[in-house]
Structures are given as C-alpha cells and as structure tokens.
Structure 1
Amino acid sequence: MSTVQQRFAEVGARSRVARTAVRALVTVVLFGWVGVVPAAGWPTVSAQAEPIRVGILHSLTGSVAIAERPINETTLLAIEEINASGGLLGRRVEPIIVDGRSDWPTFAAEAERLIGEEHVEAVFGCYTSASRRTVVPIFERHHNALFYPTFYEGVESSPNVVYTGATPNQYIIPAVKWFMENRGKRIFLVGSDYIWPRAANAVIKAQAEYLGGTVVGEKYLPLGSSETAPILQAIKETQPEVIVSTVVGDTNIPFFRDLRAAGITPKTIPTLSLALGETELQSLETATMAGDYVAQTYFQSIDTADNHRFVAEVKRRYGPDTVVSDQMEAAYASVHLWAQAVRSAGSADPQRVLRAIRGMGMNAPQGRVYVDEENLHTWKTPRIGRIRADGQVDIIWASEALVHPMPYSIFRTKQAWEDMVSELFRMWGGDWSAPAG
C-alpha cells in the first residue's frame, strides 16, 4: 500500500470515529430551518440590557468587494432574525460593520479596533486567505473568536477560528477527481497570486500526479490585474483538456472575457472555477459562461424547502434580483451556529462560546452541517455544478454523505504543508500575497 493510500485509510478510520462523536455531541438541534423559528416562546429583548456587540469585517470596497459585499448582507440577515426572535440571553445583537478595503493591513487594524475598542464578542469576516491569515494571530492574542465563511486551502487550524467554509477535501479534491474521470487528465492551472491559489494548486498538482494526470501549465495574476495575455498564450501552447481557475474577485471579468475572445469556450476547453459563485457570475457575460463548471458546497439551486425559504428571505430583504452564493450561505449559518453556542454556554464570552460550539449542528440551507469537535471546521456536502446561461447553476454531482473536514490534505505531511506556506510568506516579504509588479 502506498503512503497516500495509507493516509486515505487512516483518514477514513478517523472520520468514522469523528462522525459518531460529532453526532453524540450535538447539544441543540433547531426545528428545521433556523430562519423560521417563531418568536413565540423566546425571551424578549430587555431595553435596559447591554447589547451583545459583534463585528462584521469584510471588504466593501476594492478588488474583492464584488464577492464580500453580499456576504455582509446575509450576515446581517441572520442577526436581524435573531433579534426578531428575542435576541440572545435577553440582549439584542448589535453588529459593528467595518470595511477591510481589500487590503490586509486594514483587516489587521480593524480587527484590533473591533476587539480592543469596540469590545466585540465575536467577528464574522474575511474572504481571502490573505486577510484571514493576517488577522488570526490577533484573535489568538486577544482570545477572541473569528467565524470564517469562505472555502479555503487548509493548512491551518486555530482554536480561535470557526471555519464554516469548505476544506480542500470538500470541494477541490472531489471536483478534480470528477474532471479527471469525465473530461480529461491534462490540466492547466491559473490563479490570483496569493496564498489560497498557490496552496490550492499544490493540492491539485499532488492529486493529479497520484491519479495519473498531468499539469501542463501554471500561471498567476496579481490581485486586481487584467494582464491575461501571457496566460492565454500559455493555454494555447499547452492545449489542456481542462482549465482549473482559482482567480478571485473582479479579475474574473477580464480573464473570462479574454478567454472567449481567444476562442476558448466551454465546448473547446471547459473551465472549472473554484472561486466563482452566483454573485460573481452576475458581473460576467453569463451567456458565454454556460457550460463551464464550479465546485462548492452550496448552490442557490439546491431544491429543498429549507433552501427555498432562505433564498426567498434574502430576496425579500435585498431585492428580487439578488442571488445567493456559497459564502453567503456559510456566513448566514455562521451567525446561527454562534447564536446556538451562546445559548448553550449561557454567555457570549468568546472562550465559552468556542468550547460550546464544538460538535454543534444545524439544518442550514445547504443541508445538515456540524462543527467538528476537534478542528472547528465544518462537516459539509461537496457539490459540482454546471453554469447556466442565466447565471444559475445546475448541480451535476453531490456527495451522498457529509464529508469530514481535513485542513491538512493527505498528499503531504502536516509539516510539509506548513513548510510550503512558510516559504511563500518568506518569499513574499512577510505578506500573504505576491508583491505588486
């Protein structure tokens, strides 16, 4: 048995044990979809009680605001629902909203201010891994709690972060496996030049080698860049069978525009995007995107009563043309999981909440989710979708069971992954993204 096969077997055994433990440790189960819990029976909010202050830290301006502004909206929606149902422990939840400005030092400064000056009990925020990795030491130093809603590269597990987005084995690995089995084994990797795409592509390269595939090219764009010509030339020269994109934010606009102008379409060379959701698709020519693929754990098109109610509520609150993406749903679930833990702990104190939330589960719009009691990541259902001309997504594959979150991929040791990440940080001069220019 190979080293990788041994790790698969070990992980499978641990997952079975963890699955049993998680189910046993779930202490509170909401009645169906959390958004429709009736106010009757909940305590009323006291006008005299101090509110529970929480931070919302996302980019409202800058290159990744296209993805982060909608996450703000569903975070606020969940807080409004909690307050409408009587608040928490007789207290209203008060959101403090700040703008990370797509700038990692700003994220750090605002995290410090939210904790030190605004005295928040938790922060819901960050989209890019660069912003998250910049602020995690701040939350650890202050013993506060960050709820992070974005799928990411793994190679991290902080006791002060609840990760409600997917780990690589919950979206990258199943999607790449499906593509190699159904579309071809010659892969071209393109991404934005910061920590998430670099680490995600390291997972893909290791997986492709293990499955007998070939990565024929790998290129990166600075965040916010529109200089796609070298990438298009490399794609034409290498003739891959599939492009796997980890391009984020508004850089997707010139990237896909120039792909189509070069004659690269879903029929000639399909693209699997790991950072595109329904919200970002609204900024693209969706008719030209039809037939390309995305991998997430949530799509707006999930056909369940719980999700239909959630989507309807988002549209009621923010307008009938509003669409819902993976991170929006995870952000919404984050707030309700936090509220569940506050009720269980009988306190909003970050450390008591972080202890109480381990093993908790809920019926989220995407389906059942659990917070792993060991690594504070979330058990989720991987899905692969095909983009439609209207910008929505048809689900073409979904896991039959919840998948245990693995922040450290089996293709390397934990130390090897951490060494790789540390080397990128050093190479970029103590930053989590490549220097401009």
Structure 2
Amino acid sequence: MVSSRSGSCEGIRSLGNWKIGLLFSETGVTSIIEKSQLNGALLAIDQINENGGVLGHKIEPVRYDPGSVDQKYGELSEKLITEHKVKIIFGCYTSSSRKEVLPIIERRNALFFYPTLYEGFEYSSNVIYGGACPNQNSVPLGNYLMENYGKRLFFVGSDYIYPRESNRVMRNVVRQAGGEVLGEVYFDLEAKEIDFAAVTKEINRLKPDAIFSTVVGQSCIEFYKAYLAASGDGTTCPIASLTTNEGEIAAIGPEASAGHITAAPYFRSIESSANQKFLEAYAKKFGTTVDVTSGCETAYSQVHIFARALEETGEIDTDKLREALLGTSYDAPQGQIKIDPDNNHTYLQSRIAKVDAYGEFIIQSQVRRAIKPDPYLVFPTIYDLSFRSLDVAGGVRLDE
C-alpha cells in the first residue's frame, strides 16, 4: 500500500506538485538502516517545501515499503513508474535490491538515486550513486587496519552480492600489502547470535589482528553481541566495518561495540556548523538523532541535489536532469561533495572512526578533501599509497 502520508495521486496531479518515489524498507531485516535513509529523504523534502518548493511547486513523495524483500523492490519500482507516473526514485540499501531495480529503471529511462555505499564495479547512466565505492572506504580502512593493528585479518559477512564483492576487494588490498586473510565465512541475513558461536570460536583460536565485517542489518547486531559473549575485545582485535553505523551501534550497546571501527564519509559526531544544523533539524522532526547514519545523510543530500537540478531544468526529464546533475557540488553535512561527470558516482569525504565507551563514534583519521570516486579501482596502487597517511593525503580537490 502507498503510505497515507504520500497523499492521493489525484491530489498530487491537481496541485501540480513534483512526484518522486521513495523505496525504503520500514519493516524487515534491513529496516534499521533504511528507516534512517527514509527519514533523511523526508527531512530534505520538508525543508525544500517549507522554502516554497521548486519553482513554486512542492515535492510530493509516493512511498512504498518493500519489507526488505529483494523482489519487492523491483515490483514496486515498476509500480511507481507505471501506475504513479514517477520518473525519479530514491531507495534501496542492499546491492541485491538495487540489482532488482536497475533493469526496470533502465528500461523505463527513469532516474534512480542510490544513497548507499556499495561494492563498486557498476555504472548506469540512469543511476546517481551517492554512497562510497571501494577506493573511498575499503582501501583506506584496509590500510588503516594493517598499519595500526596488523596484517592478519578474518572476514565475516552476510551472504549476498555486496559482502562477497567487498571482501574480494579487501582481499586484494590485504594481499598487495603482504597481509593474509585467515578465514572467510558468510551468514544468512536473518542469522541470530547463536549462529555466530562457531565463527567467534574460530576467531579466538586463530587470533587475527582484526576482523573485517560485512554483516548487515539485524544480523550485524547479533554478530557483535556474539563476539562479546565469546570474550572478543574490540580494544585488541576490533571488528572493522564499512556498514556498521550509529543506529546499529545504539542497538548493539556500548559494552559490545566499544573499540570497534567503521569507515564512512559521515559520522554523527562530525563537528561542523553544517552538521549541527542538520542534526538540529532532524531532532526537531523525529525527536532524536540516535538513528542518524551515513546512509541517512546521503539520502538527505541527494534529495537536495535533485531539487537544485530540477530548479535548473524546470521539468522532470531524465536526460535533462542527468545533464544538470553531473558536476553539481553541494555543501553536505559531511562536507562538500560533487557528482562526478565521469561516472555518476560522488566525490565523498573519507573518515575512519572508533566507538568509545559511551557508544559514540570518535573520528580517528580523515582525508582533507573529498575523494574522486574510482568505482572500478582503475588505480588501486595509487590509492593504496595515498592512504598511508589519511590526514594528509589521498584527497582530490573538487575542482580538479
């Protein structure tokens, strides 16, 4: 069902509003992340509409809940386009759900904003990729771990496209640095704490220097709790992730999350006026900032970037909007970002943070400028070298 908060299609049409689709799961195993992305998009829509909309017309969301079921994302994207005449869709968290939407978006020549980090090695002229790709998160995290903890890593992931491909990239980073992957194990998205008992026992036996986790959703929470139960210590052998965010850390709890590490473009703890304004607006609308995540910030920023392009084109036309979007910069809560005209991905900040005893991410290292996306890792050796010292190298000026 379309959320009642989206309004009727007749009302949207008669008011002359700009219709967009929101395709985020509010139920199911990935809802803990996708609800924060939905909230980020809704906040941006509210801000735009409160300022008069775009060219005097409000943005009106048509909203569906796929329930964290991959097939539903494809079915509902088709429904948004054919029944609701929506040509712009924001949505998806997992790569498997994105893969369901992609052929429909391309066949219908719609425009899809994907606000999530992913494994890279993809390009579509119908997608604006807003999350980090491997050179912006996997490479710096791998180098950070090997420089600060050691070169013996153990991989634990959820069993779908993103974790397997992300581990492939990380394995290459580790091997290029002379490191070793001691083990690689995958689990169902609905895995419980007890399901991780055997792998935590194996980790204790092998004693790696760090664990690289691509476990996502509710099972991520279960894994961290299982690691603590097995006497896993984040201060000596941390779980390092690209996906574990503030919302999940809140659910995991400080005791089980302290010392563990995440690499992302954005953390709620960033001290800047832009982030402070974002958090204040979010708290005013939703009553808390506990679930603000990098994916939430990306969805928020992508809606604002879309609105700017729409103001320039004056119409929802995929080809015209794409032309207006490519090369566009935006002062996001994470810092300045830009859509790369070379590949539809986004120049992003790169940060590595560690969870403190109170369950808050404390930034340990960051680049000085947004990094040009390299989704196909065309220059892996260059990036390996440039991230040796994250606070002084590895960034690319937005005007380069």
Q: Report if aligned partners of 2:282, 2:289 keep a CA contact under 8 Å in 1.
A: no
Q: Report if aligned partners of 2:114, 2:128 keep a CA contact under 8 Å in 1.
A: yes
Is 1:364 matched up with 2:332? Answer: yes
Using the alignment, how far apart are the partners of 2:343 and 2:104 within structure 1? 19
Is 1:142 matched up with 2:108? Answer: yes
1:204 corresponds, among 164, 170, 175, to 170
Q: How does 1:14-25 map to 2 (within 5 A)?
A: none
Q: TM-score, normalised by structure 1?
A: 0.82
- The corresponding residue for 1:190 is 156
- The corresponding residue for 1:289 is 257
1:51 corresponds, among 5, 12, 17, to 17
- The corresponding residue for 2:364 is 396
Q: Tell me, what secondary structure is at the counterpart of 2:252?
A: coil
Q: Report if aligned partners of 2:208, 2:237 keep a CA contact under 8 Å in 1.
A: yes
Using the alignment, how far apart are the partners of 2:301 and 2:344 within structure 1? 14
CA RMSD of aligned residues (A): 1.5
Using the alignment, how far apart are the partners of 1:223 and 1:286 within structure 2? 23
- The corresponding residue for 2:205 is 237
Q: How does 1:101-140 map to 2 (within 5 A)?
A: 101-140=67-106
- The corresponding residue for 1:258 is 226
Tell me how far 1:391 sits from its aligned partner.
2.4
Q: Tell me, what secondary structure is at the counterpart of 1:283?
A: helix
- The corresponding residue for 1:299 is 267
Q: Tell me, what secondary structure is at the counterpart of 1:228?
A: helix
Using the alignment, how far apart are the partners of 1:49 and 1:290 within structure 2? 50
One-letter amino acid of the counterpart of residue 63, structure 1: V
2:375 corresponds, among 387, 392, 407, to 407
1:174 corresponds, among 140, 150, 159, to 140
2:246 corresponds, among 268, 278, 301, to 278
Q: Report if aligned partners of 2:20, 2:88 keep a CA contact under 8 Å in 1.
A: yes
Using the alignment, how far apart are the partners of 1:203 and 1:47 within structure 2? 46
Q: TM-score, normalised by structure 2?
A: 0.89
Which ranges of structure 2 fall in alignment gaps of 5 or more residues?
1-11, 381-400
Is 1:72 matched up with 2:54? Answer: no
Tell me how far 1:270 sits from its aligned partner.
1.1
Using the alignment, how far apart are the partners of 1:97 and 1:388 within structure 2? 36
Using the alignment, how far apart are the partners of 1:87 and 1:51 within structure 2? 9
Tell me how far 1:258 sits from its aligned partner.
1.1
Tell me how far 1:70 sits from its aligned partner.
1.3
One-letter amino acid of the counterpart of residue 188, structure 2: P
- The corresponding residue for 2:128 is 162
Which ranges of structure 1 fall in alignment gaps of 5 or more residues?
1-45, 413-437
Tell me how far 1:411 sits from its aligned partner.
7.7
Judged with a 3 Å threshold, the aligned counterparts in structure 2 of structure 1 residues 402 and 321 are, in CA distance, closer, same or farther, namely closer
One-letter amino acid of the counterpart of residue 63, structure 2: I
- The corresponding residue for 1:353 is 321
- The corresponding residue for 2:385 is none
Aligned length: 367
Judged with a 3 Å threshold, the aligned counterparts in structure 2 of structure 1 residues 142 and 250 are, in CA distance, closer, same or farther, namely same
Q: Report if aligned partners of 1:300, 1:323 keep a CA contact under 8 Å in 2.
A: no
After superposing the two structures, state which structure 1 stretch, 102-111 or 388-397, moved more. Answer: 388-397
Q: Any idea what the Cα deviations from partners look like across 1:290-343, whole Å, max 9, x if unmatched? A: 111111000011111111110111011101353411000000000001011111
The percent of aligned pairs where both chains have the same amino acid is 38
Using the alignment, how far apart are the partners of 1:102 and 1:390 within structure 2? 30
Is 1:219 matched up with 2:216? Answer: no
Judged with a 3 Å threshold, the aligned counterparts in structure 2 of structure 1 residues 257 and 48 are, in CA distance, closer, same or farther, namely closer
- The corresponding residue for 2:118 is 152
Is 1:310 matched up with 2:278? Answer: yes
Using the alignment, how far apart are the partners of 2:189 and 2:325 within structure 1? 35
1:377 corresponds, among 345, 352, 359, to 345
Q: Report if aligned partners of 2:136, 2:373 keep a CA contact under 8 Å in 1.
A: yes
One-letter amino acid of the counterpart of residue 53, structure 1: K
Judged with a 3 Å threshold, the aligned counterparts in structure 2 of structure 1 residues 320 and 63 are, in CA distance, closer, same or farther, namely closer
Judged with a 3 Å threshold, the aligned counterparts in structure 2 of structure 1 residues 267 and 47 are, in CA distance, closer, same or farther, namely closer
Q: Tell me, what secondary structure is at the counterpart of 1:342?
A: helix
Judged with a 3 Å threshold, the aligned counterparts in structure 2 of structure 1 residues 138 and 94 are, in CA distance, closer, same or farther, namely same
Using the alignment, how far apart are the partners of 1:364 and 1:221 within structure 2? 35
Is 1:328 matched up with 2:328? Answer: no
Judged with a 3 Å threshold, the aligned counterparts in structure 2 of structure 1 residues 56 and 48 are, in CA distance, closer, same or farther, namely closer
Q: Report if aligned partners of 1:143, 1:350 keep a CA contact under 8 Å in 2.
A: yes
